[in-house]
Amino acid sequence: MYFYYLFLVLCASVFSQNCPLRCPACTKCDAQKGTCTEPRDFVLCSKGGVSGVCFAGTCNTGLTVSTVPVPKCKTYRCPVSGSCNLITAPDGSDCTPLNVEYESVCLGGVCNRVWLGLGEEFPLKNIGCVGKPNGVVCDTNHNLIDGETCQGGLCKFVDGTYYGYV
């Protein structure tokens, strides 16, 4: 029994992927890889005592931004050096607040909560829009920018079709 336990502990340590306790300023943990390789763009940093802005995972002292942190549904377009311009984030960009159990995406520069259109038990029923007003953004297929909205209590595509049982 002891060897079985030892084997499980060994397997867990070999196959688990944990990031270090603290990642460098311009990166965050990539939980799938267990490394600090996810870039943290447009946050303030310091390199050699000179203030800068994180871009592509490194501290760039040649960039300046007007607003930190970046407002929801906005991003920066940056040259190699100089001032970055604040622009509207592309449709479908994630704007979900931290520590919530729903998703939000940018559509036309506005952060919209996305209601899950299908129930979580089989058979999958299209029940996510029950009691929601028409026009609220919903999703049944993990494509958050295909135009699905609540219509008459169902999550429907623009053409009126829908997924799931009624």
What rounded mean pLDDT belongs to the chain?
Answer: 80
pLDDT tens by residue, 82-116: 778 889 999 888 888 776 767 888 989 999 888 88
The closest alpha carbon to 114, from 122, 11, 100, 125, belongs to: 100
Q: The pTM is what?
A: 0.55
The closest alpha carbon to 41, from 29, 58, 18, belongs to: 58
CA-based max dimension of the chain: 64
pLDDT tens by residue, 38-54: 888 878 888 888 888 88
Query: Confidence class of residue 7 from pLDDT cuts 50, 70 and 90?
Result: very low
